[in-house]
Structure 1
Amino acid sequence: MNNLEVVQQLYQWFSQKQFDQIRTILSSDIEWIQNEGFPGGSIHYGIEEVLSGVLTNFKKDWKQWNAVVKEWFDSGHAIICLGYYEGIHKKTGKLMKADFAHVYWLKDLKIYKFQQFTDTLMIQRATEQ
């Protein structure tokens, strides 16, 4: 397995909600940076904080949530993903679509840092009554 395959596996496991599997590819001291204004947006440290503060949180407010990657870029120690989020907010019923860029840094096939870049305005609009 290489770094690109690790990140691709992450998206597959996330879509299948296989959080125990996700734990196996995250570094114990991972730094996960979500845009301010994004659900769970802030900096999260460690596997448990990433899982509880970010990855499992979407089911609370979103009827549906997907991250669709359209392009993958492998720079060796970092993987860049371009794509979009799509979802339906539970309270408003509004459909949302927002472009993103995700950057993952890896060492020894473990993700030790993630940084998100996305249009949080599109997500905010879906949550407004």
Structure 2
Amino acid sequence: MRTAYEVVKAHYDANDRHDMDGMLADIAPDCRWTEMAGFPCAGTYVGRDEVFANVFQALGAMFDDYTFKLERLLDAGEDVVATGVYTARNKKTGKNFTARVVHVWGVAGDKIRRFEQFTDTWKVVESMH
């Protein structure tokens, strides 16, 4: 069985390859995925389908070239913390943004059970106006 660190690293490796199936592969059916209040797709979504529709698909509809660049991945046993940077260009306004971000992951039984995002939502929303 993979460690929590390995499960989360596999998600980011898939992200780097633009492999959506790989990004969603380890999300448990009961995973609680929380996007920060104030973020364009804020809320808590449960399971792979809700995460895909309400996060990845929603961001793709609002932004071009949406990227997450991983800077550090910290192993805390069943929890993993990632730091990095979001960048994108809003489709409607053409404005770019760059925002620092922290992701906190909870993994159990080789599956992602929890995800929580912390970012500067103002920089993201500002690009939309």
Q: What TM-score comes out, normalization by structure 1 length?
A: 0.91
Q: Does structure 2 retain, via aligned residues, the 8 Å contact 1:39–1:54?
A: no
Q: Which residue of the partner structure matches residue 100 of structure 1?
A: 101
Distance 1:55 1:28 in 2: 17
Tell me whether 1:18 sits opposite 2:26 in the alignment.
no
Q: What is the SS of the residue equivalent to 1:127?
A: coil
Alignment of 1:18-97 (within 5 A): 18-97=19-98
Moved runs in structure 1, 4+ residues, more than 2 A? 14-24
The size of the alignment, in residue pairs, is 128
Q: What is the SS of the residue equivalent to 1:96?
A: strand
Change (3 A) 1:11 1:39: farther
Q: Does structure 1 retain, via aligned residues, the 8 Å contact 2:33–2:44?
A: yes
Q: What is the SS of the residue equivalent to 1:36?
A: coil
Q: Which amino acid aligns with 1:123?
A: V
Change (3 A) 1:23 1:95: closer
Give the percent of matched residue pairs that are identical in Structure 1 and Structure 2.
27
Distance 1:45 1:39 in 2: 17
Q: What TM-score comes out, normalization by structure 2 length?
A: 0.91
Distance 2:64 2:71 in 1: 23
Cα shift readout 1:9-50 (whole Å, capped 9, x = no counterpart) = 212323444232333211111100111121211111111101
Aligned-pair RMSD on alpha carbons? Answer: 1.3
Structure 2, unpaired ranges of 5+ = none
Q: Does structure 2 retain, via aligned residues, the 8 Å contact 1:67–1:85?
A: yes
Structure 1, unpaired ranges of 5+ = none
